[in-house]
Chains A and B, each alone.
Chain A
Amino acid sequence: MSAAREQVLSRVRTALGRGEPGDAQVAEIRARIERHPRHIEPVFDEPAPLRFRQKLEAAEASCATLDSLAQVGAEVERYLDQAGVAKRLVVSGDELLQSIDWPASIDVRPWVAGSDERVSLTSAHRGIAETGTLMLLSGENNPTRLNFLPDYHIVVLTADQLVLRMEDAWDSLRSCFGEMPRTVNFISGPSKTADVEQTVEYGAHGPRCLHVILVG
C-alpha cells in the first residue's frame, strides 16, 4: 500500500503548507528525540518506599516489606495461606528469583509453555514511587503472560530498584538495554473493570490480586 502511504503523507504536507521535510527539519526532530526532554514532573515529599507502598495499596494491591531475600519464601507461604489458594507457584526465570530458598510446602516450578498459571511470581525491572507502579519487561526469562493470566501475581522487587518517576524508569531502561524490549508493562494494581454499573470489580481479565514484596 505504498500508494496510500504517499497519499497520506502528501495530504499531511499539503495541510502543513509545505513539501517533504527538509534536512534541517528532520535533523531538528531527531535531535529532539535524541534529547527526549523531560517535562513537568509532579513533586512529592514522602520517601519513595512509603509513597510506592501507599499508592499500591490505594489501588487495592497488597504490599509486604522484607529485610532480605531469605524471607521471601516464608512471605509467599503466608500470603498463599491467607489467600486460601493451593501452594503451587510458577516462577519466571528472572535471576533475582533463583536465589530464593523455598519452603518444602510450596510446589515451585519454573515457567514452561503450558504451565498451570494460577499463581505467578515474577520480578520487575523498576518500581515507580510516584504512582505505585511496577515496570516489567518481557524477555527470555520473563514471559509477559505471567503478568496477566494468573489469578494471583506476586512481584518481588528490591529497594534499590525503586525510582521516583516514570521518566527515571525510562532512563534506567535506556542505560540497561540498548533497545526497547518487545513489551514494557507498567502495572499499578490488580485487573479491574467498572463496565457494570460504573462500579469497580477486580479480576476482569488479569490477576484478581497483586502482591508486591519489597526487599531491603
Chain B
Amino acid sequence: MQPDSRHFKANAEAALREPRLQAALKQLELGFVAGRQRCYEALPEFESLRDRARDILDHTLENLDAYLVEYESRVIESGGQVHWASTPVQAREIVIDICRAAKARSVIRGKSMVGEEIGINDALEAAGFEVTETDLGEYILQLAGEPPSHIVAPAIHKTREEISDLFFEHHREHGFTQRQTERSALVAEARQVLREKFLGADVGMTGANFLIAETGSNVIVTNEGNGDLSSTLPRVQIVTAAIDKVVPTLEDASLLLRLLGRSATGQEITAYTTFTTGPKRARDADGPGEYHVVLIDNHRSEMLGSELRPMLRCIRCGACMNHCPVYGRVGGHAYGWVYPGPMGSVLTPIMVGLDEAGHLPNACTLNGRCETVCPVKIPLPTLLRSLRRRQHLQRQNSRLARIALSLWTWVALRPRLYQALTRPAMSLLSRLGAKSGSFRRMLLASGWTRVRDLPAPQGSTFQARWQQRQRGRK
C-alpha cells in the first residue's frame, strides 16, 4: 500500500471527528485491555515469562544468520523450498513466479502482516490472479477496499451496519439476496462464501507467527481456522515471513505462545495453533503438494545493526496499540501505513522512510504504557526517542520547534539570565491572568489554548520569592 503517513495529523484530526470510529475504539479498553489484565493477574509467572522471552529473542537475534540457515536446512529436508528476498519487490516477484509455475488461478490468503507490508494482494491481482482474504476482518476490508487498522483485529473500525452493507452489495453474486444484520448471520454468510473459495483455491498463502529452526516448521495462530484451511486445502502453500520470525526450538515457541494470546486478545491460547512442516508426505491423507517459504528482510537487517534492534523481538500481539492513548483516539488508518500504534511508529519510519513518516515518532506522549505491557519488553518509548534523535540530527523536524527549543535551552543554560527574564515575565502574566485565573488565548501558545485554557502563573517565580525570603531571614 502507498504510505500516507505524512498526513498523519490531518488524518488523525479527521478520525477524531468520526463518531463511529470513536465508539469502536472505546471498546478497546473494555475488550483487549481488560482481557489482558485478567490474564496478567491470573498468571503469577507473567513477568518472568516476559524476561525469558526477551532473552530468548535476543539470543536468536544475536545468532540470526546461523538460525536462519538451520531453519532453511530443515525446511529443505522436509521437502519444502526456501526463497530469500531483500526487498518487497523481490518478495512479490518470487510469489508471482511460484503461482505462475503452479499454473494457479486463485489464491487464498490467511492473515499476514508481512503480506500487507510487501503489498502482495495488489501485485497478485495485477498479475491476473484472483486473490481472496479469508480472515473475516481482512475479508471485510478487501470488500471495502481498505487497509487494516489493527494488526490483530484488522476491521476493528468497521461497524456492523457497514459490514452488513458490504456483504449485501458483494454477496449477491453468490446467491445471497437478503440483507443480514445480525452478527451471527453475517459470520455464517461469510463462512459459506469463503468455504467455496477455500475449496476452489490453487494456492494458499499464510504468514508465520514463528519459524522453528529445530524443525523447519512455521507456526500460525488463529481463532477462525482460516489459516489452517489455507495451509491444508490448496495444492500449493506459500508462507511469507520476515527473517525476525525465527526462534530456535519448539519449547521456545511454547513460551512465546503463552505470552502471545494473553497479550493480544486476553486468551491463554487461541482456538488454533498450528505447526506446519513442509508439503504433504507421501502417505499423508491431505495437504499441499508444494510448500514454499519466502524469507523477507525489508530493512530488518538494518535495524539489527542499529539501536533499534529490540524492535525485532516484536511478536505482533498488538498490546502496544491496544494500550496506546493516541492509537485509542485516532485508530490505525491515521498512521498511514501497514503497522499502526507504537510498534508501527518505530517500524514505519524505517520501512517507508523518516521523511514520509516523520510525524509518527512524535505523535506520542512517551507515557510508557506500551512498554509495560509489551510481552517481549521492547523499550518502545526509548526507540521512538531514538528516531526523534535521528530526525534532529538530519534536521528533519520542524524549523519552528528547533528554534523554540534552542532558545529555551540557551536560556536554561544561563540561570542568572533565566531568572532575570522569567521573574518579570511571570509577574506580568500573573497580573494579566489574576482575574480569571487562566487564559483562553495566548500569543505563541495557540497549540495549547486551542483545546484548553492556560492557567495563569501564581505571581513571581519561586526563585525570586525564595531569595526574597532568604534575604528577609538574614
Contact = CB atoms under 8 A, between A and B. Distances in A.
Contact of A15 (B84, B286, B304): B304
Contacts of A189: 271
Interface string A97-130: 0000000000000010100000000000000000
Interface stretch (B180-188, B374-382, B439-447, B448-456): B180-188
Contacts of A184: 217, 274-277
A182 B85 contact: no
A181 B277 contact: yes
B226 to A, nearest CB: 5
A59 B272 CA distance: 12
B348 interface: no
A207 B228 CA distance: 12
Contacts of B83: 1, 4
Nearest to B83: A1
Interface residues of A, number: 79
A191 B223 contact: yes
Interface string B134-168: 11110010000000000001111011100100000
A21 B63 contact: yes
Give the one of A11, A187, A193 with max B CB within 10 A: A193
Interface string B241-284: 00100001111101101100000010011111111111111011
Contacts of A183: 231-232, 274-277, 287
Contact of B224 (A4, A17, A142, A192): A192
B66 A29 contact: yes
Contacts of A158: none
Given A139-B285, A198-B31, A204 B278 contact: no
A62 interface: no
Interface in B343-364: none
A201 B216 CA distance: 34
Interface in A129-169: 131, 133, 138-145, 147-149, 165-167
B34 to A, nearest CB: 12
B205 interface: no
Interface residues of B, number: 101
A152 B77 CA distance: 36
A135 to B, nearest CB: 10
Contacts of A20: 65
Interface string B194-205: 110010000000
B271 A59 contact: yes
B269 A188 contact: yes
Given A185-B272, A206-B272, A12 B229 contact: no
Contacts of B48: 40
A17 B140 CA distance: 45
A86 interface: no
A29 B248 contact: yes
Interface stretch (B170-178, B295-303, B328-336, B420-428): B295-303
| Nearest 3 Cβ contacts at the A-B interface | A206-B225, A15-B305, A143-B285
Interface of B: 24, 27, 31-32, 43-45, 48-49, 52, 56, 62-70, 78, 83-86, 90, 94, 134-137, 140, 153-156, 158-160, 163, 183-184, 186-188, 191, 194-195, 198, 213-217, 223-226, 228-229, 231-233, 243, 248-252, 254-255, 257-258, 265, 268-281, 283-287, 295, 297, 301-306
Given A148-B229, A195-B135, 12 more contacts: A8-B86, A9-B69, A16-B64, A29-B63, A183-B276, A188-B273, A191-B224, A191-B225, A197-B160, A198-B27, A204-B191, A205-B191
